[in-house]
Amino acid sequence: MTVPTKKGYDPFSVRPLPRLGVLISGRGSNLQAIIDAVASGQLQATIAVVVSNRADAQGLQRARDAGIEPLHLCPREYPDRQSYDAAVVDALRKRDVDLVCLAGFMRLVGPPLLEAFPNRILNVHPSLLPSFPGLDAQRQALEHGVRVTGATVHLVTSDLDGGPIILQAPVDILADDTVDSLSARVLIQEHRLYPEAIRMVLEGGWRVEGRRFVRSSAP
Ligand code: GRF
């Protein structure tokens, strides 16, 4: 039997590794957590491309440093959101991406992407959804006065930060917390949850029932 040795193939298996496309806009610390999980073998996948809507995103450098193709797609070069999203889809399809991971991607995901990757787009959000969707989730939690917030990884739907929840982790809010101190502790949970959620989704054996992400193997 001939074992494929092409990049993206596990040399000990004839099955190609699933291919991730990671979409970012900035720092890319969640991207880094995914890169590290792939490097350590926690995540059996290949990161096929990192797409950013911003040329100066630090995450593009993280991609380069890890030997992953960085791709800047500038929204200003497209007439509208629809055609920008179509260009993102085109880039992902050309690279045979199976699963799309939003990691601090600061744009709404429109129909072209949602239709091209149904239940195949994940996002990480810095609150316990459905509390505090949208921007500045950590500030919203502090200002609301909740005692516990956290991190959520969910499937992306047309409902902003409202898709089926895959994993969540709580973070206590301390009396002297600032947005920065709270964000730092939430981020630790994001970095732990995101690779694990990707692993679960790639593993299969799950379905979406109404709003719920249901694992067949779950107790
Ligand atoms: C994270 O807090 C993520 O939850 C939110 O944006 C931030 C991105 O951080 N959507 P990074 O770019 O992954 O460091």
Tens-digit pLDDT profile for residues 131-154: 999 999 999 999 999 999 999 999
Q: For residue 62, what pLDDT is reported?
A: 98
| Backbone angle region of 170, left / alpha / beta, with phi > 0 → left and psi within -120 to 50 → alpha | beta
Q: Is the pLDDT of residue 4 over 60?
A: no
The stretches of the chain forming alpha helices (DSSP H) are: 29-40, 58-65, 81-94, 111-116, 137-144, 179-203
Q: For residue 189, what pLDDT is reported?
A: 98
Hey, do 1-118 and 124-219 end up sharing a CATH topology, with the first three levels equal?
yes
Ligand 1 neighbour 98 (Cβ under 6 A): no
Mean pLDDT (whole number) for 20-26: 98
Ligand 1 neighbour 195 (Cβ under 6 A): no
Contacts of 56 (CB under 8 A, 6+ apart): none
Q: For residue 5, what pLDDT is reported?
A: 43
Q: For residue 6, what pLDDT is reported?
A: 46
Collapsing DSSP states into helix, strand and coil, what is residue 174? Answer: coil
Active site residue 125: yes
- pLDDT tens, residue by residue, 89-140: 999 999 999 999 999 999 999 999 999 999 999 999 999 999 999 999 999 9
* Long-range contacts (CB closer than 8 Å, 24 or more residues apart) made by 200-209: 200/166, 200/167, 201/99, 201/122, 201/166, 202/18, 202/43, 202/44, 202/45, 202/98, 202/99, 208/119, 208/155, 208/164
Q: For residue 3, what pLDDT is reported?
A: 39
Rounded distance from Cα 151 to ligand 1 centre (Å): 10
Place 15 in a pLDDT band, splitting at 50, 70 and 90.
Answer: confident
Q: Is the pLDDT of residue 211 over 70?
A: yes
Per-residue burial over 29-56, b if 16 or more Cβ lie within 10 Å, else e, is bbbbbbbebbeeeebebbbbbbbbbbee
| Nearest residue by C-alpha to atom 5 in ligand 1 | 104
Q: Domain 124-219: which CATH class? A: alpha beta
User: pTM for this structure?
Assistant: 0.92
| Nearest residue by C-alpha to atom 1 in ligand 1 | 104
Q: Domain 1-118: which CATH class? A: alpha beta
Ligand 1 neighbour 58 (Cβ under 6 A): no
How does DSSP assign 87-108, residue by residue? Answer: HHHHHHHHTT--EEEESS--S-
Domain boundaries, the chain: 1-118, 124-219
Rounded distance from Cα 13 to ligand 1 centre (Å): 34
Place 70 in a pLDDT band, splitting at 50, 70 and 90.
Answer: very high
Atom of ligand 1 nearest to the CA of 29: 14
